[in-house]
Amino acid sequence: MSPRAACRLETLGFTAVYDYTAGKADWLAAGLPTEGTALTPPRPGALARTAVPTCAPDGTVATARQRVAASGEDRCVVTSGGGVVLGVLDQSALAGNDDARAVDAMRPGPATVRAHEDLHELVGRMHARKVTAILVTDPEGRLLGLLHRADADAFLARTHHGGRQAR
């Protein structure tokens, strides 16, 4: 909100008032909640699965493999202590040496999208590039979830959101 609006709220007695200087786009990109009566387009952050297996860079491939098996996913995301995406252990990496460190076996710098991107356009790109799932991160690169193309396709087919058809 603007500094003027924050000041007005304080004069009305609100004590926990903040001036979010990064703006609305950053708020949406971080996957934070919104309110209001306006119809909002579907976003990847709303559909992303949040129970994504993760491991630390110094974790082992064996530990990552166990987390993946328990999750039903097909990859383990290597994250920093603060949740920033560093890389991914895909099926070939997970089939590797049990004692290998995740940082040594991972594919660094995986593709990510922001939580507020246009879902229709993203799904179209995913189909064109034959991508079945993509990581959703906030503007600082922290993991928010994993968007499965099948989930997005099903949502778009169900809702015909905004009069646009799923691709």
* The pLDDT of residue 12: 80
CATH 3.10.580.10 domain residues, the chain? 44-163
Pair type for strands 54-55 and 76-79? parallel
Q: So what's the pLDDT on residue 42?
A: 78
**Domain 44-163 bears CATH identifier 2.170.190.11:** no
36-61 tens-digit pLDDT: 655 566 789 989 999 999 999 999 99
For residue range 100-150, list pLDDT tens digits in order: 999 999 999 999 999 889 999 999 999 999 999 999 999 889 999 999 999
Split at pLDDT 50, 70, 90, the class of 154 is very high
90 has a pLDDT exceeding 90: yes
Would you say residue 165 has pLDDT above 50? Answer: no
Mean pLDDT for the chain overall? 85
Mean pLDDT confidence for 63-74: 96
Label residue 156 by pLDDT band (50, 70, 90).
Answer: very high
- What mean pLDDT do residues 89-100 have? 96
Q: What b-and-e string marks burial along 64-94, b requiring 16 or more CB atoms within 10 Å of the CB?
A: bbebbeebebebbbbbeeeeebbbbbbeebb
Give the integer Cα–Cα distance in Å for 45 and 87: 19
Tokens of 44: 């990847």
Residue written as tokens 């987390």?
67
